[in-house]
Structure formats: structure tokens, C-alpha cells
Structure 1
Amino acid sequence: MNKKIKFIKDIVNNTFAFGIYIISMHIVFLPFMARHLEVDNNAKLLLFIMITNIVNLSLGQELGILYQVARKDNEEDNYVDFKLLLYKTNIVIFIFMVFILYILKLNLIDALMFGIISTLTNTRLFYLGIFRKEKKFKLIGITNLLFLTGIVFGIFLFRRGITFLWTSLLLAELLSNICIFTKVENIRKIEIKKTKDYNELRKSYLDLGFATLLTNFPTYADKLLILPLLGSANMSAYYAGTALSKMLFLIINPINGVLLAYLSTNEFGDGKKVIRKQVNINFIIIVLTFLLSIPLTYVATYLFYNQFLDKVVEILIPLSTIATFSVASSLLRVIFLKYANIRYLKYINIINIISFIVFATIGAKYFGILGFAYGVAFSKFLLWLSFYIVINRHQHK
């Protein structure tokens, strides 16, 4: 099959798979819970989702990405080292999540169940990286379809009176993990024992995980920071307004996943040619995303979070700017991971997190939710600009 046709076909399959997940969380689960929970309980649920996203996307997903780009002759040894890192990471995540959620005033049972959910999410994200490397995008779709099934069943139980915050998420993760563990080859046969390359791999994982943590913190922490600054109601409204970003990533995340899978095999040829083409495309994406996101943000909020529409209209322009540079930065980051020095990533993200905290806090203090949103938007622009500068310099070496 022609490489371009296969590439497009894989993007379509991965988009469909990711679309199922987006539907599960941002069209079915979160809008339903926002309508049926008290504001404070909804804020608790959003708090967990944001914290676990920061943690799991920085660890489980990045471990899967590292597996995609890792070069090693012995594939079995490669898998053993990654699996050992996954086990250790899951233990740390469970302890951290239970502790932090209990400190944040969730009861012990809820904290424990959310801790279990986080470890299951981390496992799922890692193995989806393996499926992407093997280009098993249809299997990712099946996994996410089972995730949606768990969400729907949990909502059914909620309407029947089982109103725990975690029921739907637990069922979704259990079903999707069962699918994964029945499909991954040799999952029970391989002995877990460090290889000679384990320490080097662990160092790369920690470097990438820390750098991504710094990226993901401002990506999700805007919803965390707004809670103490502007309260639960503004937090829920702001989260509703950023729902379009999740819809946009219905397109962008699958492209990123497939692009990284192909870049890891050098199927696109010369690196400088790839960089030049992707940077040019990125500018076009910025313009189109901004123009489309303004009406789409309004429509998405009207359909799924109508109770917050008035507040979202106030911050429509900065929300569209946030969505635009989040998308553009995400695409540039894939090129950065392949061709640039990964050590620069931590410095880019430190600049990003400092600018996010400073500008969002100052904006909230003097201009309320509008100032907060513009502060976040400016930090997103700086993140994109940092990626662009480093990639552009690498291209002209």
C-alpha cells in the first residue's frame, strides 16, 4: 500500500479511536455529571480529573511515547525494562493520588478508588503507546469503545441511585484494561528483570516525564489555579469553555500519535525537510484554528454546558487563543521530540509554567475571569514561540 495512503488511513483509524474517548468524557460523562451534581461535588470531580491528567499524561503516556521512539535490537529486553518502569510508576501514582486527594478533603474511600483509577489510566495510556508503535489503531478503537461502554453503564447506575463520583470512571478503566491485557502478546510470559540498559532508559524516562509534567501542569493547572482565585462556579464555567480544546484534540492527538509512529521509522526521509514542511503547516493551522474556534466554542458550550454560556461568552477570544496555541504547540512538540535536544524541553516548560502562574494570577487579581483567561492565553503563546525558536535553530544548523 502507498505510504501516504496508509498514513492517512492510520490517521483516520486513530482519529476514530480518540473520538470515542472524547465522546465518552466530554460529550457523555462530564456534561451529565455537571448537570446532576452540586457545584462543590462537580468541582471535586474536576479536581481529580485534572490532577490525574497531569500525572498520567506525564508518566504513562510519555512512557508509551518513549517506547515508540526507543531504538533497541532486542525487542523483548526493551519491553521488559518498560514494563518494570510501569509497575514502579503505578505504585508511586497510587500513593501520591490517595495522599493528595485525602489532603484536599476527599473522604478516604473516594481517595482510594480514585487512586486505583489513576493506576489503571496510567497502564492504559502506556499500552496504547505500544499499540501505536505496532500501528494497531483499530485495537485502540476497540479499547476506547469499551471505555465508553463503562461510562454509559456507570451513568445508568448513577441514575439508579449509585451516586459515587468514581463509578463510571472505574468501570470504564476496568473494561478497557481487560481488553488490553487480553490482546498484548506475551504479557504473562516475560520475566520481569532489569537489563543492562535499564538505568539509561530510566534516566531518559525521568527527563521526559519531568519535562512533560512541566508542560501538562499549566495545560491543566489553569483549572486548578482558578479554583482558589475565583471560586468553584468560575472554575466550572472556565472548564466548560475549554471543552472545545478537547474537541480540537480529537483531530490533533491522533495525528500526533500516527506522525510519531512514522517519524520513529524515518519513513518521511530527511529531517530538515520534515521540519520545514511542518513549520509551514503550523502557521496555517494557527490561522484556521483561531477563526474556527470562536464560533465552535460558543456552539459547544451552548450544547453541552448551557448553564455556563453567559460567562463563557465573556472570555471567548482568550479561550480561542488558548485552543489555537495549544494545538499548534502540540504539533511542534512532536517534531521537537524527534529532532531537537530533549534536554531543552525542561527549560521551555519552566519558562511556560512561570509565565502561566505570573500572568494568570495578575490577570485574575485585576480583571477577574477575563484577565485570568488572557494570562493563560499569553503563556500558551510563549510556549509555542519557544518550540518554534528551538526547532528553527535546529533546522538551520
Structure 2
Amino acid sequence: MTKFRILNDMFLNIIAATVPIVVLQILVFPNVANHISESSYGLLIAIYSLINIIPGTIGTTLNNIRLLHSNKYSENNYVGDFMILVFIGSVLNIIAISIGTVIIEGGFNISNSLIVIAISIFALLHDYLMVEFRIKLNYKLILLDRLIVSFGYVIGMIIFIFTKNWYFIFLIAHFIGFIFVAFKTSLLKENRIKTPLFSFILKDSFLFLIGAFLLRLTSYADKLLLYPILGGASVAVYYSATILSKMVSLAITPINSVALSYLSKLNEKPKKLFWKVFILGVFVCFIGYFLSIILSGTILEILYPMFVDEAIKYIYITSASTVLHVLGSIIQPFVLKFCSMKFQIVINSVDVFIYTGLSLLLLNTYGLMGFCIGVMISKIIKVIMLLLVYATSKDEMIVLE
């Protein structure tokens, strides 16, 4: 594993993450916003967040657990466990996504609910199956997958123009993505049997799921919290205020995916590497913050002229929150690989508690600006907790027991 190979993989993964972001944020979402009301657009963002939280969490959990323990399965020639976990995860996903959709929409609409369930299943399976590319360090196929999903977003947008049903944007993209990885990987063909590692993997998956859910909750819950309290219009303004910084962060965070893939091959805690990566992360986030501040006004004028006057007020705070989130995500793979899984739950539980409590408290006092400040403070505390856990934990990696 040469430094050039690692940097090349990071570059490919950044491009892979950037393409669908650009397609969604620059082409699809602004186009949709021009054809529907502020309230409807706020609903779209809320449903989009729900999809990222529920199937996104379950699929990513299965993906990362398999990646982290792939060597152990290979060493013992074990094949199994994960299709059972996929089935369990799919059932949990259907229940959770159904309840979430009804709550967000304020009632039961059978056609919308069925579409969201289908989207969530395709998203979950896609996110899990992608792990084969990560295990094999095949970032060219990951890039190709992202291009195909982006094409799906465009096709979905065209269908939206004729049907005015924006659910098809997500349905087409996730369906095409699932079909691609289903044909390019062999994981769906695995035996549905338990191995001697099943009990440990089930426990580890459960702990990881809780931590990952709490982590995703703080990434997307802002829209879900604001929607029932302030309505769709405020969600639209808030989302617009975070648009550029989110794009920058989503383009940077694929680095942690590559980092975890390579860290999964290590057997010792890399102290010097951690601090080098942290310092580099601070530098990159610093640049990302000022780029966001400088460019946000112009970008908002082009993409969301209807929201720019309100959204621009929150740019400094929302951009700071986003880059702090990115910095935390850069540290996360090290903590995930070399610290006890219980720390994931403790850190993310404290984060959710502070995030929710502080942001809602300040929301009641200072409105949307108070909410933004509360989110920023919670991100600062999260970074401090991650640093303390990694610096003070024992110098040994997680092993199967």
C-alpha cells in the first residue's frame, strides 16, 4: 500500500462523492424548488433526510462491520452471517421508515409510503453491497457506481417534470444503483448460515448501529426537528443556508471511508499518523470554511434566489458547524478501529443529547439563529470528545472475543 495508491484512492473517492452531490444540489434540488411550494420543498428535504438516517444507517453499519472484520472471516474461511443480518436490518428498516414517513407527512398515504419503503430497501442493500468494492480497494468501481446513481437522479428529475412527483427522483437513482452493485458483487449469493462469529458480529452490529444512528441523527435531524416546529419554509431557508458548506463537507468526508478501508488492514494504533491526519484535517476545514463564506452568496443567488435574503444571515454559523462536523468525521475512523465500540455509543449519545437539548432551547429563545448556534456548539464538543477518547484509550485495537 503505497502513499500514492492511498492518495489516488482518496482522490477517486472524493470525485465519486462529489458527482452525485453536484447533480443533486446544483441541478436537481434547485430545479425542483422552482416547481413546487416552499412547504413542499421542505417536505422533500425532510424525506431525503429520513432516507439518509434509516436505511443509510443500517446499510452503512453492515458495510463497516463487514469491512472491519473481513480479515477474521478470511483467515478462518468463514462465509455467512451477513445475509441474516441484512434480513433483520431490512425488517427494521421497513418498520422505521413507515412510521417516519407517516409522522413527517402528517398522515398515511399508501402510494407515498410504498414508494419510500421501496427507496429505503434499494438504498440499504446498495450501501451494504458496496463493501465488496471497499474490501478489494476498488475505488474505480465506486466511482462508476456514483456516476450511475447520478444518472438515475437526472432521469428521476425528468420524470418529475412530467409527473410532478419528486419521489421518483430518489426511487430511480437508488434502484439503478442497487442493480449495478447487485451485478458487480457476489454478496447476495452468499450462504444464509451462521458461523461461529455470528453472536459477536450480531452484538457488534447492534452497538455500531446505535452509534451510527446517533451520528446520522446529528447530521440530518436538523431538518426533521425544524419541519414540525417551524414548517417547511424554515427548513427550505435553513437547508439553503447550509448548501455550499454541505457540498464542501460531503466532498471531503469520503476521505474517512478510504481511511477506514486502509486502517482495517492495520494491527497497531498509529499515533503519529493520527495527529498528522488531524492537523491536515484542521487545515482543509479552515480552507473549506472560508471558501464557503466567500462563495455562498453568489451560489445562493444562482440556485435559490427565492431564499437568499433569509439564508445569507446564517451562513457564518452553519458553515462553521459543517466544517466541525467534517473534522469529527476525519477523526472518527481512528476511534472506530482502535477504540472500544462502547465509546461510539457514549460519544454519539452525549452528542445527540447536547445537540437536541441546546439547539431546541436556543431555538425557543432566539429562533432559527439560536438553533444554528446550538448545533455549532454541539459540534465543538463532539470534536473534543473524539480527541480525548483516542488520546487516552489503550494502545490496542478491537479484537474478536
Q: Classify 1:304/1:341 alpha carbon distance in 2 versus 1 (closer, same or farther; 3 Å).
A: same
**8 Å CA contact retained: 2:79, 2:195:** no
**8 Å CA contact retained: 1:248, 1:327:** no
Amino acid of the structure 2 residue aligned with 1:108: I
**Residue matched to 1:218:** 218
Matches within 5 A, 1:291-306: 291-306=290-305
Structure 2 length as normaliser, TM-score?
0.92
Residue by residue over 1:266-304, the C-alpha shift from the partner in whole angstroms, topping out at 9 and shown as x without a partner, is 29x762222232233333334333333212333332332
Q: Classify 1:393/1:107 alpha carbon distance in 2 versus 1 (closer, same or farther; 3 Å).
A: same
Secondary structure in 1 matching 2:165? coil
**8 Å CA contact retained: 2:249, 2:322:** no
> For 2:100 and 2:387, how far apart are their aligned partners in 1?
35
> For 1:274 and 1:296, how far apart are their aligned partners in 2?
32
Which is worse superposed, 317-326 or 249-258? 249-258
> For 1:341 and 1:258, how far apart are their aligned partners in 2?
21
**8 Å CA contact retained: 1:154, 1:167:** yes
Residue by residue over 1:284-334, the C-alpha shift from the partner in whole angstroms, topping out at 9 and shown as x without a partner, is 334333333212333332332221111121111111111121110100111
**8 Å CA contact retained: 2:54, 2:96:** no
Answering whether residue 196 of structure 2 is matched by residue 196 of structure 1, we say yes
**Residue matched to 2:20:** 21
Amino acid of the structure 1 residue aligned with 2:283: I
**8 Å CA contact retained: 2:249, 2:323:** no
Residue by residue over 1:330-368, the C-alpha shift from the partner in whole angstroms, topping out at 9 and shown as x without a partner, is 001111112222211211112111111122112211211
**Residue matched to 1:274:** 273
> For 1:343 and 1:139, how far apart are their aligned partners in 2?
33
State percent identity of aligned pairs: 24
Structure 1 segments, 4+ long, off by >6 Å, are none
**8 Å CA contact retained: 1:98, 1:115:** yes
**Residue matched to 2:157:** 155
Answering whether residue 66 of structure 2 is matched by residue 67 of structure 1, we say yes
**Cα offset, 1:378, TM superposition:** 0.8
Secondary structure in 2 matching 1:164? coil
Q: Classify 1:296/1:65 alpha carbon distance in 2 versus 1 (closer, same or farther; 3 Å).
A: farther
Secondary structure in 2 matching 1:194? coil
> For 1:18 and 1:78, how far apart are their aligned partners in 2?
32
**Residue matched to 1:394:** 393
**Residue matched to 2:359:** 360
**Residue matched to 1:185:** 186
> For 1:394 and 1:292, how far apart are their aligned partners in 2?
35
Structure 1 unmatched runs, 5+: none
**8 Å CA contact retained: 2:13, 2:143:** yes
Q: Classify 1:240/1:343 alpha carbon distance in 2 versus 1 (closer, same or farther; 3 Å).
A: same
**8 Å CA contact retained: 1:67, 1:130:** no
> For 2:79 and 2:238, how far apart are their aligned partners in 1?
41
Q: Classify 1:86/1:79 alpha carbon distance in 2 versus 1 (closer, same or farther; 3 Å).
A: farther
**Cα offset, 1:163, TM superposition:** 2.0
Which is worse superposed, 327-336 or 66-75? 66-75
**8 Å CA contact retained: 1:315, 1:373:** yes
**8 Å CA contact retained: 2:237, 2:310:** yes
**Residue matched to 2:118:** 116
> For 1:31 and 1:116, how far apart are their aligned partners in 2?
25
Q: Classify 1:217/1:390 alpha carbon distance in 2 versus 1 (closer, same or farther; 3 Å).
A: same
Answering whether residue 271 of structure 2 is matched by residue 264 of structure 1, we say no
Amino acid of the structure 2 residue aligned with 1:115: I
Which is worse superposed, 218-227 or 95-104? 95-104
Q: Classify 1:393/1:298 alpha carbon distance in 2 versus 1 (closer, same or farther; 3 Å).
A: farther
**8 Å CA contact retained: 1:301, 1:309:** yes
> For 1:219 and 1:254, how far apart are their aligned partners in 2?
15
Q: Classify 1:48/1:380 alpha carbon distance in 2 versus 1 (closer, same or farther; 3 Å).
A: same
**Residue matched to 2:231:** 231
> For 1:138 and 1:21, how far apart are their aligned partners in 2?
15
> For 2:202 and 2:215, how far apart are their aligned partners in 1?
20
**8 Å CA contact retained: 1:120, 1:173:** yes
**Residue matched to 1:34:** 33
> For 2:294 and 2:387, how far apart are their aligned partners in 1?
27
Answering whether residue 376 of structure 2 is matched by residue 374 of structure 1, we say no
Q: Classify 1:75/1:94 alpha carbon distance in 2 versus 1 (closer, same or farther; 3 Å).
A: farther
**Cα offset, 1:244, TM superposition:** 2.1
**Residue matched to 1:173:** 174
> Root-mean-square deviation (CA), in Å?
2.2
